Every structure is written in structure tokens, then in C-alpha cells.
Amino acid sequence: MNVALLQEGARGFGLELDAATVAQFEQFMAELRRWNRSINLTAITQPAEIVCKHFVDSLSLVSLLKDGERLLDIGSGAGLPGLAVAMVRHDLALTSVDAVEKKVRFQRHICRLLGLQQVEVLHGRVEQLAAQRGGQYDLVISRAFRNVSRFVQLAYPFVRCGGRLVAMVAGDADDATHEAGVVCGQCDLHHLETIHYRLPHGAGERNLVVFMRNQL
């Protein structure tokens, strides 16, 4: 793994990764590439792309996090962004949910390998989970949705009053925010901010579109 590229990307978000954390990212990448030979976990397979488009992109969320928050990552796939965030913020409690069993198995393997004891990995659909976990999370995140309105509809039941939803958007953030506007009105949310950033080495531009659930 290109450690310098990872460190450069992390510093872009104000993070300094120690040697132990870098070693965890190296293990994560090695296992992701090994499992991906037999199980389709990701279409991004080259080491530099994994660093930029998976790891660094995930770390963009860290600046939004407050101490001791409870996070929910829905449609988490191979564990991104959630597991990458958990590797650098051990004070957070993360629930990671995906509907594909093989991806859940991979995430649980990574958690055991890296000792991520504060992470709970669940297999299932978020629509079915909402009845048991409604209003329990400070922050709900996802990279899985191209349709931000759909993300808002699914994520809203999980977030507490004053909590936030963060959609990670590769396309036009203004269009995504506008499309979600009607749903926000129905769900007692408002658009808080949009954070634009560039991935290192020309790997692309991204946005964090942040919504907040209104206080009672």
C-alpha cells in the first residue's frame, strides 16, 4: 500500500495517522483484495484507487464527528465508510448494516482481525431495522445511494432529534439537495451544509450533504 498517499489524504482532513492505524489500513486492503478474488466486494481493486476512493474518501467524515457519538452506516458494503472511520475514532459506537450476507461476513472478519470491538455488523434491510432502532443514532451515513431523497427517507427514522444524516455524493450536490428538499419537509429535516472536497492525485471530487433533524 502507498502509505504516503494515505497519509497525504488524511492530512487533507486534518488527521495524522499513527503507525498502528496505518498498519490496520494495510491489513484492511490486503483482506479486501484477497476476498475480492472470490467474492465481489468492490469494483475498485487497484491499491492507489482503494487508498483514495475508499479509505481517504471515508475519512472525510471524521471532521463532522463529536465525541462518543452513535453512528449508523446503511448499505455499508465492504465496510466503507464506517469501518475506516471506526479505525481512527475508537470513542464512537458504530452499527454497520448491509443486506448482502457475504459483505457482512467480510466486515465481521475485518472487525475481528483489527479488534474493532465498538462495531456492530448487522445483516438485514434497513426498512426492517427501523422498528427496533428508531431514534437511536446521532449520525446516519452512507455512500450507497445515488438518490439522496431515497437515502433521507430510509435514514430519517433512525436519527434522534438534533442528529444528522450525511449523504456522500459524487455528482452535483446542488441537484441532490434540491431533489431531497420535499422529503426533508415531510420528515422534519433541514439541509444544514454541503462540504465539497477533492480526493488526492486527481481521484475525483466529492460532497458531504448534511441534513439535521429538527429539535422538538
| Domain CATH for 178 | 3.40.50.150
Q: How many domains does the chain have?
A: 1
- Is 4 part of a structural domain of the chain? no
Q: Are 44 and 54 in contact (CB under 8 A)?
A: yes
Q: Grid coordinates in use for 39? A: 467474492
Domain span holding position 71: 57-213
- Is 12 part of a structural domain of the chain? no
- At 59 the pLDDT is 97
Q: How many helices (H) and strands (E) does the chain have?
A: 9, 7
pTM of the entire structure? 0.93
> What's the mean per-residue pLDDT of the chain?
92
- Is 42 part of a structural domain of the chain? no
Any bridge partners for residue 142, and if so which?
Answer: 167
- Is 121 part of a structural domain of the chain? yes
Rg (CA), the chain: 16
- Is 51 part of a structural domain of the chain? no
DSSP strand E in the chain: where? 70-74, 93-98, 119-123, 137-142, 159-169, 189-198, 205-213
Question: Cβ–Cβ contacts within 10 Å for residue 131, how many?
Answer: 8
Q: pLDDT of 92-149, one tens digit each?
A: 999 999 999 999 999 999 999 999 999 999 999 898 898 889 899 999 999 988 788 8
Query: Between helices 19-36 and 3-11, what is the axis angle to 10°?
Result: 120
- At 216 the pLDDT is 64
- Is 20 part of a structural domain of the chain? no
- Does the pLDDT at position 24 exceed 90? yes
